[in-house]
Amino acid sequence: MIYFDHASTTPIDCEVLEAMLPYMKDNFGNPSSQHSAGRAAAAGVLNARDKIAKLFGCKPEEVFFVSGGTEAGNWALKGACLANEGRHIIVSAIEHPALIESARDMERQGYEVTYIKPDKSGVIDPADVERAIRADTVFCAVMAANNETGVIQPVEKIGNICKERGVFYYADCVQTAGVLPFPTASVGAFGISAHKFYGPKGFGVLYIKDGEKISRLISGGKQERGLRGGTTNVAAAVGCALALEKAVKADNKKIAALRDKFVSGVLENIEGAHVNGGGEILPSHANVSFDGCDGENILFLLDLKGIAVSTGSACSAGAVSPSHVLSAMGLSAERVKSAVRFTLGKNNTQAEVEEVLRELKAAVEKIRAV
Ligand code: PLP
């Protein structure tokens, strides 16, 4: 298989898997237990938290283990609303459903939500955020980079505005962990997810700045300083820390060079292809629309050739709804429907890029001929 869908998930790194295995076999203890098996597991959790805190540039007490990017976003939004005064929420219209759906949940509880649209290139203007802030604004979410387009957002500027106006700011860093510096100084909280950087699935981290007020969502034991109950997934914590350390050290230039070759190959060889998103884009991402095609059909034809890509559309109850991200950017319905997302990773090669270019051209021609 040629895998060009790294924004969806990544294969686990072998070294990461090796580091996790002892915590599923020999050191299987519950880290809350007082016997030596428990203490060995607790040491694994402690080291993982310390390592992640160093990488974030924060204190270990500001690092909270969660089940992934979705929980991090839910906890930040709902937890901040519950702990602080105010009934108004700001989220960008291009956020992951983790934030958009959390905002809708709060809307049903009587909160008002402002959804900020990006410009045509997919960038959120900090001035729009500033204009949207009201006296009763309690929370703002604008992601560090979008998962569909890879477009990088002005987190620092938005963070400064929120800080000045006393608004809790959450930056979803799920797509940027290991690629961009962590925005520890600019935000109230940010979240990452281990399976996006060659770590295990079902594990993530929520950074919460010391002094920020946030309520817990998961009540239970005293884990995570009493703010998130549940036995810690020790092996995943160990794996996440190592995967993050490797991701931060990794050189993303090779991925960017391959992606650039791929994009120029598409634009040179396939007529009626348009890149979606502008400004600064993550090294892995290429979101392209193809005139006269349906993105889903391209996906299926490539899949038949053993090539994995994705579209931004969401499939629920048998119906496909168009990408809310590309729609919010103001792209035409045809352009939204014909979009395909290619996201490259550390194991992709030049030969794979060439093969995808060949098969993609053939797929587009086949669809247009029908
Ligand atoms: N936020 C963004 C930007 C994402 O891309 C994703 C996953 O696709 C998530 C949140 C959700 O992360 P998880 O799969 O860990 O729940």
Shortest CA distance to 309 belongs to which of 84, 81, 4? 4
pLDDT at 318: 63
Is residue 293 part of the annotated active site? The answer reads no
The Å distance, Cα 40 to ligand 1 centre, comes to 31
Our answer on whether the CB atom of 147 is closer than 6 Å to any ligand 1 atom is: yes
pLDDT given at position 312: 76
- Pocket probe mutation, ligand 1, options 173, 193, 284, max atoms within 8 Å of Cβ: 193
CA–centroid distance, residue 164 to ligand 1 (Å) = 28
**Which ligand 1 atom sits nearest the alpha carbon of residue 143?**
3
Describe the chain by its helix, strand, coil percentages, rounded to 5: 45, 20, 40
Q: SS in 3 state form for 16-70?
A: HHHHHHHHCCCCCCCCCCCCHHHHHHHHHHHHHHHHHHHHHCCCHHHEEEECCHH
Q: How far is CA 85 from CA 95, 101, 113, 136, 337, in A?
A: 23, 21, 15, 7, 41
Would you state the pLDDT for residue 315? 63
Q: Is the CB of 90 under 6 A from ligand 1?
A: no
Instruction: State if pTM tops 0.85.
Output: yes
| 174 CB within 6 A, ligand 1 | yes
Task: Report which ligand 1 atom has the smallest distance to the Cα of 195.
Answer: 15
Calculate the CA dihedral of residues 297, 302, 307, 309 and round it to 10 degrees: -30
Contact indicator for 288, 276 with CB cutoff of 8 Å: yes
- Evaluate: CB of 175 within 6 angstroms of ligand 1: yes
pLDDT at 317: 57
Residue 206: CA atoms inside 13 Å, Cβ hemisphere, count? 30
Task: Show pLDDT as tens, one digit a residue, over the chain (370 residues).
Answer: 999 999 999 999 999 999 999 999 999 999 999 999 999 999 999 999 999 999 999 999 999 999 999 999 999 999 999 999 999 999 999 999 999 999 999 999 999 999 999 999 999 999 999 999 999 999 999 999 999 999 999 999 999 999 999 999 999 999 999 999 999 999 999 999 999 999 999 999 999 999 999 999 999 999 999 999 999 999 999 999 999 999 999 999 999 999 999 999 999 999 999 999 999 999 999 999 999 999 999 999 999 999 999 997 666 556 678 999 999 999 999 999 999 999 999 999 999 999 999 999 999 999 999 9
Give the whole-angstrom CA distance, residue 334 versus residue 341: 15
How far does residue 325's CA lie from ligand 1's centre (Å)?
14
> Is the CB of residue 68 below 6 angstroms from any atom belonging to ligand 1?
yes
Q: Residue 177 in contact with residue 197, Cβ under 8 Å?
A: yes
Per-residue burial over 257-280, b = 16 or more CB atoms within 10 Å of its CB, e = otherwise: ebbeebbebbeeebeebeebbeee
- Which candidate, 258, 285, 274, places its Cα nearest to that of 338? 274
CA of 8 to the centre of ligand 1 (A): 8
Residue 13 Cβ inside 6 Å of ligand 1? The answer reads: no
- For residues 270 and 361, the answer to whether their CB atoms sit within 8 Å is yes
302 and 359 in contact (C-beta within 8 Å)? yes
The conformational region for residue 323 under phi > 0 = left, psi -120 to 50 = alpha, else beta, is beta
Question: In this structure, are residues 370 and 339 in contact, taking their beta carbons and an 8 Å threshold?
Answer: no
258, 318 contact by CB (below 8 A)? no
Cα–Cα distance, 136 to 132 (Å, whole number): 11
Question: Could you tell me the distance, in angstroms and rounded to a whole number, from the CA of residue 205 to the centre of ligand 1?
Answer: 12
